[in-house]
Amino acid sequence: MAVFSDRSKLSPRYIPRVLPHREGQIDRISRIFDLQDPSRSHLTPVQLVGDVGTGKTCTAVRFAEQLVQRAKERRTNLRHVYVNLKLQGGSRVVLYRYLVEKAAPEAYSGSMSSEELIRSLVNHLLRTKTYLLITVDEIDYFIKHTKEHLVYDLTRLNELSPGETCGVLGVVFIARGKDFHSLLERSEVSTLGRNVVDFPNYDAEQLFDIIEKRSEEAIKPGAISEEVIRYVAEITASPPVKGDVRHALDLLLYSGNLAESQGDERIELEHVRKVHGETYHLITREDLLNLPEDRVHVLIAVIRALKAKKVAYVTMKDVRSSYQVVCEEMNLKPKIELEEILQDLRERGIIEVPALTKIGISGASAEKIEKVLDEIVGG
Ligand SMILES: Nc1ncnc2c1ncn2[C@@H]1O[C@H](COP(=O)(O)OP(=O)(O)OP(=O)(O)O)[C@@H](O)[C@H]1O
Ligand SMILES: [Mg+2]
């Protein structure tokens, strides 16, 4: 029995056209950017700040689309580049390469240094009268990780071309909180500016509206009741999830899968209860789908080591030898910075490292994570 009409609409990567309860935020960001005369406007930094799963990324992406569309109507050439520093931000130069390649491939050369890349980009924008909006996601993660002065660079781009505007209309920084400010220099905090748009955690009512809309797109009419949607909303609004929409999407997906596998025509409270009880954990599918490849391989090694030893924690030595085997099997060159990768997995909340020699998996059972990893490696 099919419960879903389009399962992909529950994917965390899918962004619905309308985002209920984020109209106010989109409005606020829109008012910050002036398209009247972009040739006179100066680089405007904006910060979007809110807890996990409060819709910062999807709002930023939708906003940028709208702005590009409005620019088009005014015959202004505006491009948007979205950068997720968890994915593309090993260091500044990695980030700039990505940025320039996306924004202006003509201005890109693999041999350029950070400074050359940025200068080349700005020159290109000015020459071709192109404007650029940059969204820099997970800035807090990047700053905590690298301590590089990215904010300084990005907010001072206009100083590369004194007297002129630099072609970069604005930079939208996205962060889970403001605690990364303490790692910035005073001048950086001040250039970040006062344009802060808050993303409060969704409450149960708001989640109900959001989940109802997403269900309409993904689930067959009649295959889910208002009561079930309300239950998913309540679970998602309560601690420890506290409003992360991704959990609601995961719950719907897994409950629907369960219903289908049992031959049921509808998602019932029972399905949600069962899935919630069994698979509830703080790591979502998206956290795993977003892992860089080298992290995936190391995580596979950790899980295998844990399974082989049948203990809660394994040692660094266990992980190292398990990693060696994984690399041999997959024909990979083992990374030497294994410890740094483990540290990163810990910071992402995926593994636990309570002591130097103890490595474990938090919350989720290793098997659940393994299933998603199989999906990644297999496809
Ligand atoms: N108002 C909304 N309507 C529909 N879907 C939403 C809404 N807000 C969030 N979502 C969905 O929830 C998921 C998480 O949203 P998003 O990625 O924007 O969160 P975030 O604030 O960037 O979280 P994080 O800090 O973890 O990156 C996405 O799949 C998104 O489509
Ligand atoms: Mg995000």
Candidates 57, 199, 211: which one to mutate for ligand 1, based on the most atoms within 8 Å of Cβ?
57
DSSP 8-state class, residue 241: T
Ligand 1 proximity of 58 Cβ (cutoff 6 Å) = yes
- At 148 the pLDDT is 84
Candidates 7, 213, 245: which one to mutate for ligand 1, based on the most atoms within 8 Å of Cβ?
245
- At 326 the pLDDT is 95
- At 240 the pLDDT is 75
- At 226 the pLDDT is 95
CB count in 10 Å sphere of residue 11 = 15
Ligand 1 proximity of 167 Cβ (cutoff 6 Å) = no
When pLDDT is cut at 50, 70 and 90, the band that residue 15 belongs to is: very high
pLDDT at 22 over 90: yes
Ligand 1 proximity of 57 Cβ (cutoff 6 Å) = yes
> What is the C-alpha to C-alpha distance for residues 165 and 15, in angstroms, rounded to an integer?
33
- At 62 the pLDDT is 96
340-343, long-range: CB within 8 Å, 24+ apart, which pairs? Answer: 341/294, 341/295, 341/298, 342/298, 342/302, 342/316
pLDDT at 324 over 70: yes
pTM above 0.95, yes or no: no
Average pLDDT over residues 289-300: 91
Ligand 1 proximity of 282 Cβ (cutoff 6 Å) = no
Ligand 1 proximity of 246 Cβ (cutoff 6 Å) = yes
What digits encode the pLDDT tens for the residues 127-171?
Answer: 999 999 999 999 999 998 888 888 988 888 877 766 667 889 999
Nearest CA to ligand 1 atom 6: 55
Q: Among all ligands shown, which has an atom nearest to the Cα of 246?
A: 1
Average pLDDT over residues 287-293: 86
What digits encode the pLDDT tens for the residues 50-76?
Answer: 999 999 999 999 999 999 999 999 999
What digits encode the pLDDT tens for the residues 183-199?
Answer: 999 888 988 888 999 99
State the angle between helix axes of 56-73 and 23-32 in degrees (0 to 180), rounded to the nearest 10: 50
What percentage of the chain carries pLDDT values higher than 90?
Answer: 61
- Ligand 1 atom having least distance to the Cα of 18: 3
- At 330 the pLDDT is 93
Structure tokens, 331: 């024909």
Q: Which domains does the chain show, CATH number per domain?
A: 7-12+202-280 (1.10.8.60), 37-199 (3.40.50.300), 286-378 (1.10.10.10)
- Ligand 1 atom having least distance to the Cα of 22: 1
CB count in 10 Å sphere of residue 83 = 22
